[in-house]
Structure 1
């Protein structure tokens, strides 16, 4: 292979964008630093054409606006592997809109392949062995060593050829239109909203705590978040969820009581001990925390949901694909909730997945309205 082209200047990015706008297909991947920073960000964008591989450094370029037209232009197909996370990151960090997407992982799932990881697929299709040792590396470091650059370029280098093989098989098996539905759904993936006070419920075991313990847990979570933000570290590298849970459960109010939990080593005790006890006290002074309980779904809804899930599982087994390939979970739940009375009503609920409506609509209606 030719060496990848490193892009770390705005002028070079503009020239590259001009070249990419003339391409029919580009392969794309991203690398982020979620394991090494408080707020993850895209640290590297890999783009491959049929002739060259490019590595773009977002940390060195003030604006990636020249690439916006590449991602939004429907005439250019953007090929990803496991696109959802990349799409979220590109929208979140750069505001890109992405049109005309092909996802080699989703295509593989629709074809019923058991191994849908990129390394496994490339080994099977091209006898290429990818070394995934840098999958969890710190992509925010600079300069990136040559071995990480070599690793990064391979994640996009083979996607154009792989896509061609997958399209041929999808068309041969009559699943091309089905794949297009999922690619369109991926394009519309939304960036998850930032947590707004709900982080406490993400702590394993939180639902087993009483209202007073929950108020303390919330105070502890807030303290950890503040420390992580100041240190620019992921929250789990400051204090683990298990530590916060055990402190909230036990409610230690003295240094010996905190030490007796056995959850903090000497370094963590020295750094956080007093502040954690203060967080416990703040939590005890707060009103007890309870979670609003959603009303129990109706029996009729649960019956429809179970019937649809059972049908979906059986259909997936007959097609030898994962269940969500037959009917995505969000659409399944929406149909069960809405309980359409006619095919036209069902068509409206399945308007983003017309192939599935055409092939499964009558069965679905018969199941929810026997």
Structure 2
């Protein structure tokens, strides 16, 4: 077993960066966070591999400035697995690739049955990776040696897997498709901050009344502020179910809240004043939130028959047609065209709904050129077929 060292100072960073700069070919990169343990999604370990250089494990909190690493590999292709998960943490460190190769996304486009890193490495290289430390608390210091071995293996085989997948893509005629998808993934903007994020509280749907919602907002905000201050995952302080239990119990005093057996969590009693003050703020609030807020999303498809019968007929024809084309291409339907885009174009298509106008609308919504080439005519034909469905009952009635 190799003993791996975590590099944690500027001198070690410079030496490793020089070695990586002298390496050859693409660079394998991975990030370990402490999701479920810490409030932030910061990287607590960054793993980098390059041929003729080796594997290097960096400790970002200890090092701080990682610009030497960016200078060393910032002009190369970076190989990541499930890049959308790691890119935000890398950008926070000002580590930004010019181009990427995503081994998970490549495996999806190729129709692999399983696309986790272990499955992809096993499918392409015949090597089995142990995944027992994937949910570990990577903010732990010092990091145990078995964890470091696991982290190193996450990047050590990435380049070989990338090369095997690149050949598969070429053999399947999907190289351009993959390049468009990788570029779109790299260019995708961060998700906008959700309005009223407290509404994500699990179990809130069991609570009734605008006053109770005001209390829920205050409890969630108090927990969020405390979690941010302590850099601890909010659910580890007081779980969602405990906040909802307090809402449903509606305690009339701090003592009643303390006596509530379902109000659990490591900060449920040590920070009792904090939670009681939040409850009182909610009870005194004048800006009572609505229990249900209208969203900009579409209604569920099951409701379309009553709310928009024409759209229901359109998607009833378009959905299986697009799925059939995805099967022909040997890839998941959601990679050929995301269900949200198909729903939007079916709910309100352009007029006239030709392959060209459908393509223009889907492009504005973010569809890539290859997706348009594969789907727009199929969708246009499906919409025509849906019109025939609409006419047949009318003809039968006459």
C-alpha distance in structure 1 between counterparts of 2:44 and 2:64, whole Å: 13
Counterpart position of 1:324: 334
Q: Secondary structure at the match of 1:143?
A: coil
Deviation of residue 97 (structure 1)? 3.4
Q: Secondary structure at the match of 2:79?
A: strand
> How far does the alpha carbon of each residue in 1:74-106 deviate from its partner, in whole angstroms, 9 at most, with x for none?
xx2211111111112112x12443332111111
Q: Secondary structure at the match of 1:185?
A: helix
Deviation of residue 65 (structure 1)? 1.9
Pair 1:81-2:81 in alignment: yes
1:93-104 pair list within 5 angstroms: 93-104=92-103
Question: Is residue 343–residue 361 contact of structure 1 (8 Å, CA) maintained in 2?
Answer: yes
Structure 2: runs of 5 or more not aligned = 300-306, 386-398
Deviation of residue 302 (structure 1)? 5.4
Q: Secondary structure at the match of 1:79?
A: strand
Question: Is residue 237–residue 265 contact of structure 2 (8 Å, CA) maintained in 1?
Answer: no
TM-score, scaled to structure 2: 0.81
C-alpha distance in structure 2 between counterparts of 1:255 and 1:313, whole Å: 56
Deviation of residue 21 (structure 1)? 4.6
Deviation of residue 358 (structure 1)? 2.2
C-alpha distance in structure 1 between counterparts of 2:316 and 2:270, whole Å: 51
Pair 1:199-2:197 in alignment: yes
Structure 1: runs of 5 or more not aligned = none
1:1-370 pair list within 5 angstroms: 6-21=6-21, 23-51=24-52, 52-69=54-71, 72-73=74-75, 76-91=76-91, 93-194=92-193, 198-208=196-206, 209-255=208-254, 257-258=256-257, 261-264=260-263, 270-287=269-286, 288-290=288-290, 291-294=292-295, 299=308, 300-301=310-311, 303-333=313-343, 335-336=345-346, 339-340=349-350, 341-348=353-360, 349-350=362-363, 353-368=368-383, 370=385
C-alpha distance in structure 2 between counterparts of 1:305 and 1:97, whole Å: 39
Deviation of residue 285 (structure 1)? 0.9
> How far does the alpha carbon of each residue in 1:135-157 deviate from its partner, in whole angstroms, 9 at most, with x for none?
12222222222222111100000
Deviation of residue 36 (structure 1)? 2.4
Deviation of residue 363 (structure 1)? 1.3
C-alpha distance in structure 2 between counterparts of 1:369 and 1:61, whole Å: 61
Deviation of residue 133 (structure 1)? 2.0
> How far does the alpha carbon of each residue in 1:32-59 deviate from its partner, in whole angstroms, 9 at most, with x for none?
1222222231011111112311112212
RMSD: 2.9
The 10-residue stretch of structure 1 (327-336 or 1-10) with the greater mean CA deviation from structure 2: 1-10
For these two proteins, the number of residue pairs brought into alignment is 366
Deviation of residue 261 (structure 1)? 4.1
C-alpha distance in structure 1 between counterparts of 2:9 and 2:194, whole Å: 34
Structure whose alpha-carbon radius of gyration is higher: 2
Q: Secondary structure at the match of 2:51?
A: coil
C-alpha distance in structure 2 between counterparts of 1:24 and 1:265, whole Å: 52
C-alpha distance in structure 1 between counterparts of 2:62 and 2:332, whole Å: 41
**How has the CA–CA distance of structure 1 residues 275 and 16 changed in structure 2, closer, same or farther, with 3 Å as cutoff?**
closer
Q: Secondary structure at the match of 2:32?
A: strand
